[in-house]
Each structure stands twice: as structure tokens, then as C-alpha cells.
Amino acid sequence: MQTFISDWWYLSIRNVKLIWRPLLALLPALFMPIFFFVVNSLSLQSFAKVPGFPDVSYKDFIAPVAIFTAIFFSAGNAGIELVQDITSGYLKKLIIMPINKLAIVLAKLTEVAVQSIIQGVIMLTLLLVWGVEIKSGLLGVLAMFAMLVVFAMAWSCISMISALRTQNARLVQSLFILVFPLLYLTTSQAPKELLPETFATLASYNPVTYIIEGIRALVLTGFGDPSIGYGFAAASGMFVVFVTLTVLSFRKALK
């Protein structure tokens, strides 16, 4: 057990250092959520006056989406880094060394968690400056980040599975196109009651919808909303499924 913890710790330190190399690579994942939030909150603010819309400003309604998107956009980088480790021979060196193989996967997930927290805190700070209020307070912020970090680690597993199966950075990077249908086929821009029937049905089957609604409940209403529990359930379910598939793909890659 001590060896496993030691392997995970030192691999995690190495991976976390990669977050800042290069520092400019962090900017797109922050710029795009900020851009969409500012444009949508200003251009669509009159949408909050539509009958059936919650009694909140449109700015506050989409603020949770900005935090979610900042983390969503960056979580796929783990796969690209894994391809680099494979092509450079670094992963092969790790495999032949007496290192716990599960620690290699968990160290990658630790990097994703740290980067998610960093970018989420930056985005949250900007939203607070913009005037957004978190109704659930500090505990709500902690709950929000717990949900988002679990989701981010789950989503990063998709890119790592692709990296292990294809070992092609371009194919892994192309998974970015999945972000937009998964994000916009939800209640990210409007309540489900105001969505067309087909669109609302698709949103109901999208697990990302429940995570966004969980974060939104923490921002707009506070604890007690069942959406928070559904959000944690969706994020946890994705985590269990995709981490399991990643470990299986990793074992297959070792053969």
C-alpha cells in the first residue's frame, strides 16, 4: 500500500507540472467560456422575461454553465498528453519499471482534478466580480467543485481510452467536437419547460443535463433541491463507467 501511494504521489507531481507547460495552452479553455458567458448574458438577457422562465436574471441562469464549460473544455487534454507519453517512449519506461499500473491512471486523473479546480476557481472569481451570487454559500461552492471534479475525471477518461486505442494525437484531439452536442443538448441555455419536445427529450437522456442542473441549483437556490443529488449521481455514474473502461483499456495496451 505504501508503495502504491508513493508511486501515485510522484507520478502525480510530474503530471501536475505538465499543466503549466506551456502556460498559454490554458487560455483557450478559459477564454471560450468567458466569451460565451459575456455574449449570451448581454444579448439574451431579455429571454429571462419569457413566461415560464425562472425568477432570476439570465446572467445568473447561465453562470453555472460558464463554470462547467471551463472545466469541460480542458478535461480532454489528458488523452493528448498520454499520446505524447506513448510516442516519446515514456509510458513504455513506466510499464517496465516496478510501478503500480493503477497508480499511472490515478496520477493522470489527479492532474485533471487539479487543473479543473484551478480553472474553476478562476472562472468562479470572474463570475463573482461580474455580480453572480452563490446562494448556497461556501459549502455550495465546495459541493459544486466536488461534482465538477468527478465529472472532469470521468470525461478525461474518454480521451485516455482513445489515446490507448489509437495512439494518434489528431484523433484524440478530434474528440473535442463531442463537447458542443453534449453541452447544448441540455438545459444549458433554457429551462426544459421552454425547450421543444424533441430537444427536451434528448436533454433528459443526456447525463450532462443533470450535472448542469445540479450546479445551477447550488448557485440559484441552495441545498434542498433534488437536482443536486441527481447531478452527483450522474457524475459518479460516469466516473465509475469510464474509469473502469480506462483501466481495462490500459491493461489491454500492456499485452
For 94-150, write each residue's pLDDT tens digit: 777 777 778 888 888 898 899 889 888 989 999 999 888 898 889 999 999 999 999
Section 36-48 average pLDDT: 86
Phi, psi of 190, rounded to the nearest 5 degrees: -155, 155
Alpha-carbon gap, residue 69 to 67, rounded angstroms: 6
* C-alpha 155, offset from chain centre: 6
Cα atoms in the 13 Å half-sphere on the side-chain side of 193: 5
C-alpha cell at 79: 488523452
Section 69-98 average pLDDT: 79
Alpha-carbon gap, residue 135 to 221, rounded angstroms: 6
Confidence of residue 40 (pLDDT cuts 50, 70, 90): confident
In angstroms, the Cα distances linking 189 to 58, 185, 206 are: 9, 9, 14
Confidence of residue 22 (pLDDT cuts 50, 70, 90): low
Confidence of residue 24 (pLDDT cuts 50, 70, 90): low
Section 25-31 average pLDDT: 73
14 dihedral zone (left: phi>0; alpha: psi -120 to 50; beta): alpha
Q: Which of 150-159, 203-212, 245-254 is the least confident region?
A: 245-254
H/E stretch holding 205: none
Confidence of residue 208 (pLDDT cuts 50, 70, 90): very high
Helix-then-strand count for the chain, H and E: 12, 0
pLDDT at 173 over 80: no
Confidence of residue 249 (pLDDT cuts 50, 70, 90): confident
Residue 158 near residue 82, CB atoms below 8 Å? no
Burial class of residue 93 in the structure, from the number of CB atoms within 10 Å of its CB (0-12 exposed, 13-18 middle, 19+ buried): exposed
Q: Which of 14-23, 77-86, 97-106, 202-211 is the least confident region?
A: 14-23
Neighbours of 17 (CB within 10 A): 10
Highest mean pLDDT among 14-28, 94-108, 174-188, 220-234: 220-234
pTM: 0.89
Query: Can you give the pLDDT at residue 141?
Result: 93
Alpha-carbon gap, residue 177 to 175, rounded angstroms: 5
